[in-house]
Structure formats: structure tokens, C-alpha cells
Amino acid sequence: MRWMVPIGRKAKSSLANVDLTIKIAGEAGQGLHAIGGLLSRVFARGGYHVFANQVVQSRVRGGHNWFSIRVSDRPVHAPCARTDILVAFDKESACHFKELTEDSVVIFDSKSIELSVPSRTALDVPMAELASRAGGNRLMANTVAAAAVLGLLHCDPSELFNFLRRSFGKKDAQTGEANVKAAEAGYDFALKKNEGKRRAGFGPPGQAPKMLIGGSEAVALGALAAGCQFISAYPMSPSTGIMTYLASKAADFHMVVEQSEDEIASINIALGASFAGLRAMTASSGGGFALMAEGLSLAGMIETPIVIVLAQRPAPATGLPTRTAQEDLEFAIHAGHGEFARVVMAPAGIEECFYATARAFHLADKYRIPVIILTDQSLADSFASIDALRPEDVVIERHLMSEEDLKRVQGYKSFLLTKSGVSPRALPGNPYCFVTADSDEHDEDGRITEDCDVTRPRMVEKRNRKTVDLLKEMKGPSWYGPKDARDVLIGWGSTRGVLREAADNLLRDGIKAAAVHFEDLWPLDRKHFGFLKKARFAVVVENNFTGQFANLITRTTGIAMARRISKYDGLPFTAQEVVSAYKRLKKGGRR
Amino acid sequence: MRPEDLGNFQTAWCPGCGNFGILDALKDALVMLDLDMHKTVLVSGIGQAAKEPQYLNCNFFNGLHGRAIPAATGIKMANKDLHVIVTSGDGDIYGEGGNHFIHAIRRNIDITVIVHDNQVYGLTKGQASPTSDIGFTTKVQPRGVINEPLHPLAMAVALGAGFVARSFSGDKQHLSSMIQQAVQFKGFSLVDVLQPCVTFNKRNNFSWYKQRIEPLPQDYDVHNKVWAFEKALQWGDKIPVGVIYRDGRSSYEDACGLMGEASILSQGPNPARLKDLLKEFF
């Protein structure tokens, strides 16, 4: 009994071990995202930890998709393999029956779909009928279903009603009210059906309301917090959400959002804007980033700051546009011809997307370099409830020459050779000096040169010398789990949550394991791998086939990382998968 | 501003190159316009033509091959107070950068694009360019070019460019006048400059152009799109030069409300709004 408690036992305010997964499954266009989002917000508002992710096919209508909400009283950052409540809107939802347990419930409408639900778990709700009778229409069956979930859990539905009223607003108050009526009907129906049988041990967790925020939104907000005023991008799943969100806020934040003709234009336009003085970014997925490779190299050459979000999806080529992968780590590190300094970072979760993005702008400006933020579909398209973000923690330092500096300087040189490799930066338009950028090899003035004796080697050294100070900026891994754990699960980017959950589960099974997670991936400092000396059983967990991070560790440290857990089916890891794969490895298996 | 303020640099061009005439005319135009060079950015791609900004005392962005227009677009969007002038070759703008040429015209961003159009690739030593005539032989096209040449002016007119002009590198006064009008025009402006390549284009040489160019008729209506197409497509015994088409459609800056007042750069960021914005997520 994971989430149901027998009648008579009162729900306590501090509920231990609430870990509930609600999966809403059906066709694209059936509004799965709408109810999923609504329910997620209700739980977040109630102070629960929520992790919601969607698995969709690359199409506008039809197919089989799902929106999965994991609700817990402890932080959750990854989907769960088990489904406790399945809301089924199509026949194909039967594919999720294997995830059900004996306590699970399937909410469906037998009048709308043919589904032979195991009778013990069935909660047949005449959604369309209830919606019509409540004065709404069949389209509100969704609302009925969402409310039925809350009824089943004996949750206070008033937040749901508030959200419904608010989301239709004053513009369409009538539709809002009709939806509330439909919701009431759904709620009462499920409550009554469930009464006397069993009651949910599901009450308010007694915590402050949390923000519910998506990965793409968190990146966009991080950019706004950092004072980013420019994005040019070409739509590509799963990166598009960043541009979409920023477009809705552009005017308030004095920002230009330009949908470019292609990704080559995206990066070159953004570099132009950055050269002119704005904090500028672009975002794409692997294919679009591939087109940006030459522009990335240009950023390195003209030492013009830029932030590039690479939201990974399974490749090669078009691959699986709406699924997830961690296949572009080596690509991000090596993309672009020639040698130049760069930073590659992969935020661990949705909250980290905010802070990492803000930091990316900081590093880009400070070192006049490109910074790549690696996310992936599972992060970009997921939602999580988090504590309030702290924009006040983001300090904007532009590292530009002041008016006084400019007045004082004689013979400004855009590419002045300095000890750090970073030249003082002026912007074009100032009345004191000219500012240059040249993709050709250039002298300190930024003018084309073919002086191979002196200028060329000095410029190569200058551009690459930045890495020395950059290494000092790079954060080492986070350690989660017993301090003396000799078993370690190593990962990077979006898998941190799942690794920590796996470590918890392993500990419960008597295996002392720690989750060691890297956000800063390049430049990589071997001193951050000291923990490997003490580790007895180290496994690298990645959403790719070749073990890109494992190989990178070997390259950096000389230590062979033979134990790997790889997943490359386009879906994110679950903790259960990691735990069983880990146990298999321990027994002596290899992959 | 005096011409000498723009500097006198050693160039990497062949003696007799049409680029000298274009550089001269550009300097003349900048002086005549009396542009504040600190508020001006020259942008180019790669090729012999694209080296032009290197030979001026100015702010410049000498970007990637084919990507001059996107860089110029970003600069102008960020700081509309800057005069942004692109100067690059036919291979750069019409070939490698063809897609950007199309979409910059659609955007109607207020930049001037001067194309050094010598119908051949010089820096890579003499291959056909998008504007090479049919039959033009090169080492890569030994049996002659078989592709229809791109008609940049007709293309620009078709795409709705507001200012479309053609000139000749051998006529400094005319070219300077075209550049001046283009820079003053609010919106995307194109000046296609016929230019001989003394080394690799023996066919379309100085006298070939000199004999063919002719001014537009006295009664030419610069706002008439049908006439513009006719003149834009005219190529052969007579090649018209001058402002082929001029239109008053609103520029990107006008169409985009944000650009109405101060430049985005001078407006500065507004992270203080974030506190309120975050409330939407609860």
C-alpha cells in the first residue's frame, strides 16, 4: 500500500513516503498537456514536490502520447517506472497496464473508448456525459478527468477550480464556470465511487507553495535574470520553448527575439548583436547546432561572447525529434574548426537551468568566449515544482571598458595581448576608438595578418590561454550519499535526480553508493576526479551508446572507465532501471 | 570628415582591380555623407572584396564567408543608432550567403549592402560565381557555365527590396551617389556594383562594362515595379545603371515597435521585472 490507506486512518499532515505517479495517456490533440499541467500546478501549489514529463510522438495530431506527473513529499527529479493512476484516453493506453500495481487505478470512459481494464483497477467515469450534464460540452471531458483524479485522492479541489477560472479569465468567464461545473461533477463522481472502499492517504504536505516551472522556461528566465537582450533562433525541438517563452516577455525586458532563416543565421546574427554590445544567445538541438559549428568557431576567433543552448535529442541526423538523449557531449566540446577556449556545462535539473544560464552569460562576457549549455528533451520538456528562484543572486558584470577607461586609453586594440588572454572590451559606437572583429587571423588591432613568425603564434596562445583561468572557474562534481561510499554512480547533466534516487534505493538495499554528478564539463580538470582513487566500483551512467563522458574521464585522468550503464532508446532513465543495471554489473556483467 | 581621415592602407588586391574604384567611391560617399565613423560599422564576409573594411579607419566586423548580412543584421538590431554597411563580393552575398540575402530583404532591416559583382571567384583563383554568364569558361567549368546566372536586382525587386541600384566600379561619381542614396534610405538597400576582375575574368573586362552601361531614361519611374523588373533583367548589349527601384515600405525598425525610440542597447536590460514575472509560476 503505497498511497492508499484504510478507512479510519486519518491522513497526517506530514505524510511520509508519498510517491505517486499519475499518467495521462492518449492522442496528440486530446489536451493531455493541458490537464497534466493543471494537475501539476495544483500539487505544486499544495507544496508537493512534483516532477512532470511528457513523452510525445513527432506529430501534431493522433499517435500515442503521455504526460506523467510524479508527486512526492520528497524532491523528485525523474519519472518513476510505476504508474499509480492511469488516465486513459485511447485504446493504446493499454500499453501502460504493465506499469500498474495492485493498488493502481485506471480512470477511463467506457462510453468513449474500448479498453479492457483489469476490473480491480477500473474506475469507469462517464466523462463526456458528466461534462455535458454539467452544462459544458464533450470537450470538457478532460476537466472531468483531472477532477476525478483529485476526487480519487480525496484532495481539496478548490485550487483546481481557481486555476480553471483564472485560465479562462475575464475574457471567457462563462467557459471557465462551465469547466468548474464539469470539474465538480468529475470530482464528486470519483469521490463517491471510492468512498467506503478505500481512502487516499493524501493530504496537504504542510509546505510552502512551490513554483511549477518547465526546463525551457527556466533557461529563458535565467537569460532574463542575466540581462540577456537578444535571441535569434530557428525552431527545432526540443529547444523551441526557450524562444517561445522569451518572445512572450520581449517587450517588458527590452529584448529582441528574432526567428532566423536558419541556424547559420541564428548564430551569426547573435554574434553581431553581441559585438554591438548586447548579451546575446541562440538555442537549437543537434542538427541546428551542427549548422552553427562555423559560427561557434567565429565566436572563438573574434572573441565575442555568446551563449548557445544545445537541447539534445536522439540522433544521428533527424533522429527522434521529441525524445531524449545525451549524445552531443563530445560534439559540444569539439564542434568548430580550430582551437579556442570555450565552456560546456550541463545543468542538473530544472532549477539549475536558471542558474546555469545566468552563469553562462557571466563566463561568456568575462572571458569573451562562447559558452554552450547542454540540456536535453527530458529536461527541456519537463516541469518541476521548485522553491522560489532567486534572481537577486544573479549579479550582472559586463566586463566592458568604462567611459573613463575609454577616454584614458591611447590606441585601443580590440585584441590586445594580455597575460590572461582576455583583451579589454569596447563596443562600437563609442566616440573614442574603433572596434574590430576579424575572422581572418589578425593582429592586436583586429586587422588581417599573415605574419606566421610572431603574430599568429601569439594570437593562438592568447585565445587558448583563457583556459588556464577558466579551469579555476569550473565546479567539481557534487557528491550525494554516504561520505565513505566506495561505490559511485557517475553522471552529468539531466540525470542527477535519477542517480540520487538510485543511490537512495541502493542504500535501502544495503549497498552504500554515492551519486557523483558533473555540471561543468569543459574545460575538465583532472583534479576533480580524486574521488576515483577511493572508489572501488565506479559506474558511468549516460543516455548514449558510446559512453562519451566515460571516455572523456579516461582521456582526462588516464583511468579506464569500463563499467557503464547506457540507455539510448530515446527515453530518460528511471531510478529502477539504474538500480537493476547496477546490480547486474555488480554480479559481474559488463554492460 | 576628410578622405585622409579614412586612412591609406596597403591592400592585397591585384593592380588594376575594380575593388580600388569601389573603395575610392565608398570613401567619397562617406565623406560626402559626413558620417560619424564612430557610429558606423562596416561588415563583410570573405573574399577579395570583403577585405575592404580592413582598408579603412572604421569599426568593422569581417565575419565568415557568406555571413556578412546576418552579422550586420544583429549589429543593427542591437544598436539602431549605428550606420551599418555591408561590403562583400558576389560569391559571398549571392552564393554562400544567398539565403541570408533573401531573408534580409524580407526583414527590410535598415542596412546597405554593396556587392562587388565581378562575376567570378577571385580569391580561390577563378571559378564561376552565381552571376557568371552562360558559357564563361574556368578551370572548374572548362566547357563553360551552363547554369542560368542569378539576377540579383530582379531577385531583390521580387522580394520587396525598397532600394535597388546598380553601378560600375569605373564611375566613381555615379557609384558614390548610389552609395550615398542607399545609406540614406531607411530600409534594406542594395547596390550591385559591376566590377572587372583583371586576373580571372578576361571576358567581362573594364571595356566590356564601359561599352555596355547606360543611364536610365529621363522619364524612368523609380517606383514602377514592372519597369524595375524590365531594367533589372536587362543584360547584354546595354546594361542599365542607376536606382532601378525605390519604395517606401516600412523598415524592420519601424515595423518592430521596440525599435521605435531608443536603441535596444541604450535601453539596457530590465532584470528587475523578474520578481513580478516569477509570481506567474506559483
Domain ranges across chain A: 4-209, 213-393, 403-473, 478-586
Distance from the A547 Cα atom to the nearest Cα atom in chain B, whole angstroms? 34
DSSP per residue over A421-486, as a string? SPPP---TT-SS---EEESS-B-TTS-B---TTTHHHHHHHHHHHHHHHHHHH----EEES-TT--
Q: What is the DSSP string of A38-68?
A: HHHHHHHHTT-EEEEEEE--SSSSEEEEEEE
List all residues 6 or more positions away from A454 whose beta carbon is below 8 Å from its beta carbon: none
Reading the block at residue B72, the C-alpha cell is: 550586420
Residue to substitute from B48, B79, B258, interface A, most A β-carbons within 10 A: B79
**Closest in B51, B64, B264 to A268, CB measured:** B64
Q: Could you give the CA distance from residue B58 to residue A447 in angstroms, rounded to a whole number?
A: 11
C-alpha cell at B109: 532591416
Chain B residue with minimum CA distance to A389: B278
Average pLDDT of the segment spanning A411-418: 97
The size of the A-B interface in CB pairs under 8 A is 199
* Cβ proximity of A84 and A3 under 8 Å: yes
Most confident of A385-389, B147-151, B261-265: B147-151
Task: With CB atoms and an 8 Å threshold, state whether B74 touches A275.
Answer: yes
pLDDT (tens digit per residue) in A227-270: 999 999 999 999 999 999 999 999 999 999 999 999 999 999 99
Contact A44, A11 (CB under 8 A): no
Provide the pLDDT confidence category of residue A2 given band limits of 50, 70 and 90. very low
pLDDT value, residue A17: 73
pTM for this entry: 0.95
Protein fold of A478-586: Rossmann fold (3.40.50)
Query: Cα(A382)–Cα(A110) distance, rounded to whole angstroms?
Result: 30
Find chain B residues with C-beta within 8 A of A448's C-beta. Answer: 12, 51, 54, 62
* Mutation target vs B (from A43, A207, A269, A274; most B CBs, 10 A cutoff): A269
List the single residue in B with minimal CA-CA distance to A427: B59
Residues of B in Cβ contact (< 8 Å) with A44:
282
A478-586 shares the fold of A4-209: no
- ipTM confidence score: 0.98
Interchain pair B54, A437: CB under 8 A? no
Across the interface, whether the CB atoms of B271 and A273 are under 8 A apart is answered no
For residue A114, give the nearest of A135, A89, A139, A96 by alpha carbon.
A89
In this predicted model, what pLDDT tens digit does every residue of A56-100 receive, in sequence order?
888 888 889 999 999 998 888 888 999 999 999 999 999 999 999
CA-closest candidate to residue A344, choices A368, A365, A316, A375: A375
Question: Domains in chain B, start-ordered, CATH in brackets?
Answer: 3-279 (3.40.50.970)
The fold adopted by the segment(s) A213-393 is: Rossmann fold (3.40.50)
| Contact indicator for B144, B137 with CB cutoff of 8 Å | yes
**pLDDT of B145 higher than 50:** yes
Per-residue pLDDT reduced to its tens digit, B166-212? 999 999 999 999 999 999 999 999 999 999 999 999 999 999 999 99
Among chain B residues, CA nearest to A431 = B38
Answer whether B103 sits within 8 Å of A271, measured CB to CB.
no
Scan for cell 583532472, then name that residue. Answer: A526
Cα A220–A221–A225 angle (5° rounding)? 120
- CATH architecture designation of domain A4-209: 3-Layer(aba) Sandwich (3.40)
Is A261 in contact with B102 (Cβ distance < 8 A)? yes
Q: What is the mean pLDDT of residues A364-369?
A: 98
CA A325 to chain centroid, in Å, comes to 12
Among A9-13, A157-161, A472-476, which range has the highest average pLDDT? A472-476
* Region A460-469 average pLDDT: 98
